[in-house]
């Protein structure tokens, strides 16, 4: 047993002696746990980014303007007033998550529909089908705003004019007792309806929208039509398109990091030192490794999408050249990131810990796991500098969104620039001796 414990002791000493690897193994779970805790915790001081939506007010009545103002005042929404065509283009491009269309005649019809439950005007929500969580929020906020403003418009006389009329009736000596009794009944009924409207408007808007009515007395004064914004309306949204983009990016990045770790293992064996004695330049040796990794990453992504197309019916509904360009730029970025991680990690053990940390953070900030609108406002702005976001956005754009080559250019340029920076830094700091 003494030999057994001596071996355990030696292995522990080796493990804890690699401080860089130990730091990465400790830092990764702490930072990732803090990240998720900040998103779903109860920190009320840190505002989340508002959901970008458009409102198209085709009615222009006092009631519809009040509804638009109420939606714009809600801190959970970032409202833009746009015509329907412009809003649809922005939703299709992923720049907005929904467009709420208030139809003509809504203000005049909603008051009657509040009580009768018939002839309800129809509000249309055009929404990004990859953002169904945002749709639930918009639906709830809309129900709340409509109920509050429509009921306030219906009972606006009860706030000022009717109490004065009641006082005048009570103090009048020229009205016979039977007429006073009938008028009191009218005033009492008005007050009860007003209280009921206020109580109903305060109910959970989400539950109201799902049930189709608000409370036992009043009906939700509109019907709702929810329409997905797709490249082709006759082709249904395929959720596999987005999931394959996110998971393809994640696991291809992990492959790139393993190539970097392999580079360090070869260095530990002294192979790189012998190759340089050939002589081969540093640029030739690292460049060949980058080219190999980029080709392997491109091949992996092609196979992943081939399976997605054959088995899960994923389609490139936009630009094929844009699709190939995004895959090529992402593959180069993967290879460059692998070299950078290898240069920073210095040892295979430390590099693996750093790789797990960077890959998970980049994928999460890229929007593959968590909808970006739940991020704090400052973090959502930061994701503009995260290359994985442009990889996923670019693949989404040319697959299910059905956008053209112009939508792929910026993701291609952003990932290419990131790859160039990573390669330049890796070439500068890579150490040929462990």
110, 146 contact by CB (below 8 A):
yes
Quote the tokens at residue 186.
């009218």
- Which part of the chain has CATH 3.40.1710? 51-228
Neighbour count for residue 432 (Cβ, 10 Å)? 10
Q: What is the rounded end-to-end Cα distance, in angstroms, of the chain?
A: 35
pLDDT at residue number 86: 95
Please tell me whether the overall predicted TM-score, pTM, comes out greater than 0.85 for this model.
no
Positive or negative, the CA dihedral 301, 306, 311, 313 is positive
Residue burial 126-142, b: 16+ Cβ < 10 Å; e: rest = bbbbbbeebbebbbbbb
Nearest to 294 by CA among 426, 411, 419, 412: 419
Neighbour count for residue 46 (Cβ, 10 Å)? 12
What is the separation of C-alpha 387 from the centre of its chain, rounded to a whole number of angstroms?
A: 16
Is the CATH number of domain 51-228 3.40.50? no
pLDDT at residue number 27: 67
User: Tens-digit pLDDT profile for the chain (434 aa)?
Assistant: 677 677 667 766 766 676 666 666 666 667 666 666 665 554 555 555 688 999 999 999 999 999 999 999 998 899 999 999 999 999 998 889 999 999 999 988 887 777 666 788 999 999 999 888 889 999 999 999 998 888 777 666 545 555 665 676 677 776 677 767 776 776 677 667 666 655 665 554 444 444 444 444 456 789 999 999 987 777 788 889 988 998 999 889 988 888 877 777 777 776 666 666 666 666 677 788 889 899 999 999 999 999 999 999 999 999 999 999 999 999 999 999 988 888 877 677 777 777 777 888 888 888 777 666 667 777 777 888 889 999 999 999 999 999 999 999 999 999 999 999 998 888 887 766 65
Quote the tokens at residue 99.
């467009």
pLDDT at residue number 208: 45
Nearest to 260 by CA among 344, 327, 326: 344
Q: At what angle do helices 106-116 and 132-154 cross, to 10 degrees?
A: 80
What is the separation of C-alpha 376 from the centre of its chain, rounded to a whole number of angstroms?
A: 12
Rounded to whole angstroms, what are the CA distances from 245 to 107, 135, 248, 249, 305? Answer: 44, 22, 5, 6, 9
Return the bridge partners of 48, or none.
Answer: 376
């Amino acid at each position: 047993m003494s030999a057994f414990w001596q071996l355990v002791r030696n292995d522990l000493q080796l493990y804890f002696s690699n401080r860089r690897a130990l730091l990465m193994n400790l830092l990764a779970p702490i930072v990732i746990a803090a990240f998720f805790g900040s998103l779903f915790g109860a920190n009320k001081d840190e505002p989340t980014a508002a959901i970008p939506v458009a409102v198209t007010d085709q009615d222009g009545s006092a009631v519809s303007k009040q509804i638009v103002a109420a939606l714009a005042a809600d801190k959970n929404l970032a409202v833009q007033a746009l015509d329907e065509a412009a809003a649809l283009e922005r939703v299709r491009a992923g720049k907005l998550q929904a467009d709420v269309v208030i139809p003509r005649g809504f203000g005049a019809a909603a008051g009657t529909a509040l009580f009768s439950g018939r002839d309800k005007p129809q509000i249309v929500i055009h929404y990004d089908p990859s953002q169904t969580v945002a749709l639930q929020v918009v639906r709830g906020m809309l129900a709340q705003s409509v109920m509050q403003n429509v009921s306030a418009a219906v009972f606006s006389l009860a706030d000022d004019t009717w109490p004065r009329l009641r006082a005048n009736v009570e103090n009048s000596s020229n009205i016979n007792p039977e007429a006073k009794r009938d008028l009191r009944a009218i005033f009492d009924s008005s007050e009860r309806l007003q209280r009921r409207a206020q109580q109903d408007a305060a109910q959970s808007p989400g539950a109201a929208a799902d049930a189709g009515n608000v409370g036992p007395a009043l009906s939700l004064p509109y019907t709702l039509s929810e329409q997905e914004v797709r490249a082709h309306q006759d082709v249904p949204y395929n959720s596999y398109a987005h999931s394959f983009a996110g998971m393809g990016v994640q696991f291809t990045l992990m492959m790139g990091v393993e190539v970097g770790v392999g580079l360090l293992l070869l260095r530990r064996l002294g192979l790189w030192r012998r190759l340089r004695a050939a002589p081969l330049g540093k640029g030739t040796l690292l460049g060949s490794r980058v080219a190999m990794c980029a080709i392997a990453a491109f091949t992996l992504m092609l196979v992943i999408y081939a399976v997605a197309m054959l088995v899960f019916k994923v389609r490139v509904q936009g630009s094929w050249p844009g699709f190939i360009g995004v895959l090529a730029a992402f593959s180069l970025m993967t290879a460059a990131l692998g070299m950078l991680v290898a240069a920073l990690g210095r040892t295979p053990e430390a590099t693996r810990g750093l790789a797990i940390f960077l890959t998970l953070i980049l994928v999460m900030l890229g929007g593959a796991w968590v909808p970006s609108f739940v991020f704090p406002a400052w973090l959502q702005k930061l994701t503009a500098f995260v290359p994985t976001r442009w990889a996923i956005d670019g693949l989404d754009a040319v697959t299910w969104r059905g956008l053209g080559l112009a939508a792929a250019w910026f993701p291609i340029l952003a990932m290419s620039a990131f790859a160039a920076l990573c390669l330049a830094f890796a070439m500068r700091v890579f150490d040929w001796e462990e």
